[in-house]
Structure 1
Amino acid sequence: MARLSGYQSRGVLHPQEAGALRKAASRLFAGQNKAETCRWMNREGYRTTFGNEWVPEVLTRVLSHPRMAGLDSDGNPIEDFGATVLTPDEYRRVLALFAEQRSQQPEAREAFEYLLTDGEAECGSCQHAMVGTRVTGDADPSYRCPPPRARQPSCGRVRMNADRLEDSVTEEVLAELLRPGAQEHLARLLADIRAEAERLKEHIAGAEKRFEELRNMRNVLVAAAYAAAEKATKDDLRQSRNRLRFLEQMTDLPIDGVTNLVEWWNSAPRSSQRALVCVEIAKVRVLAVGRGRHRDPSERIEIEWRT
Structure 2
Amino acid sequence: MARLYGFDDSARTRLRDDEKQVIRLAASRVREGQSLAAVARWMNDQGYRGTLGGAWAPVSLGRLLDNPVIAGLAQDPKTGELYETGLPRIIEPEEFEELRKRQRRPERTTPDFDYMLTGGLLGTCGLCGHALVGARSNSSTPGYRCQPDEEGGCGKVRVAAHLLEDYVGTRVLGELARPGALLRLQEEKARIEAEAEQVRNRLAALEEQRGNLAEDYAKQELGRAAYKAANQKIDDAEKELRQTLRYAEQVAAAPLGGIDDVTGLVNWWNSAPAKSRRALCHLLLDQVEVYQASARGIRHIEDGRVVLRWKSAGGQVS
Q: Name the TM-score class by shorter chain.
A: 0.5 to 0.7
Report the equivalent of 2:288: 284
Equivalent-residue separation in structure 2 for 1:303 and 1:215 (angstroms): 47
- Asked if residue 196 in structure 1 is aligned to residue 195 in structure 2, the reply is yes
Report the equivalent of 1:174: 173
Note the 1:5-44 alignment, pairs <5 A: none
- Tell me the CA shift for residue 230 of structure 1: 2.5
Report the equivalent of 2:63: none
* Structure 1 residues 127 and 233: CA distance shift in structure 2, 3 A: same
- Tell me the CA shift for residue 272 of structure 1: 1.4
Instruction: Give the aligned residue type for 2:288.
Output: V
Secondary structure in 2 matching 1:179: coil
Instruction: Give the aligned residue type for 1:258.
Output: I
Q: Please say if residues 144 and 158 of structure 2, whose CA atoms lie closer than 8 Å, have aligned partners that are also in contact.
A: yes
Secondary structure in 2 matching 1:276: helix
- Asked if residue 237 in structure 1 is aligned to residue 241 in structure 2, the reply is no
Q: List runs of 5+ in structure 1 lacking aligned partners.
A: 1-105
Q: List runs of 5+ in structure 2 lacking aligned partners.
A: 1-106, 313-318
Q: Please say if residues 132 and 144 of structure 1, whose CA atoms lie closer than 8 Å, have aligned partners that are also in contact.
A: yes
Q: Please say if residues 200 and 240 of structure 1, whose CA atoms lie closer than 8 Å, have aligned partners that are also in contact.
A: yes
* Structure number with larger C-alpha Rg: 1
Q: Please say if residues 143 and 161 of structure 1, whose CA atoms lie closer than 8 Å, have aligned partners that are also in contact.
A: yes
Equivalent-residue separation in structure 2 for 1:272 and 1:298 (angstroms): 27
Report the equivalent of 2:154: 155
* Structure 1 stretch displaced more, 176-185 or 247-256: 247-256
Q: Identity of aligned pairs, percent? A: 38
Secondary structure in 2 matching 1:200: helix
Equivalent-residue separation in structure 2 for 1:225 and 1:288 (angstroms): 49
- Tell me the CA shift for residue 267 of structure 1: 2.3
* Structure 1 residues 221 and 283: CA distance shift in structure 2, 3 A: farther
- Tell me the CA shift for residue 264 of structure 1: 1.6
Report the equivalent of 1:121: 123
* Structure 1 residues 209 and 222: CA distance shift in structure 2, 3 A: same
- Tell me the CA shift for residue 131 of structure 1: 0.2
Report the equivalent of 2:204: 205
Equivalent-residue separation in structure 2 for 1:153 and 1:122 (angstroms): 13
Q: CA RMSD in A?
A: 2.8
Equivalent-residue separation in structure 2 for 1:124 and 1:183 (angstroms): 29
Equivalent-residue separation in structure 1 for 2:221 and 2:273 (angstroms): 54
Secondary structure in 2 matching 1:131: strand
Equivalent-residue separation in structure 1 for 2:287 and 2:115 (angstroms): 15
Q: Pick from 296, 309, 312: which aligns with 1:304?
A: 309
**Per-residue CA distance 1:22-47 (angstroms, 9 max, x = gap):** xxxxxxxxxxxxxxxxxxxxxxxxxx
Equivalent-residue separation in structure 2 for 1:145 and 1:174 (angstroms): 26
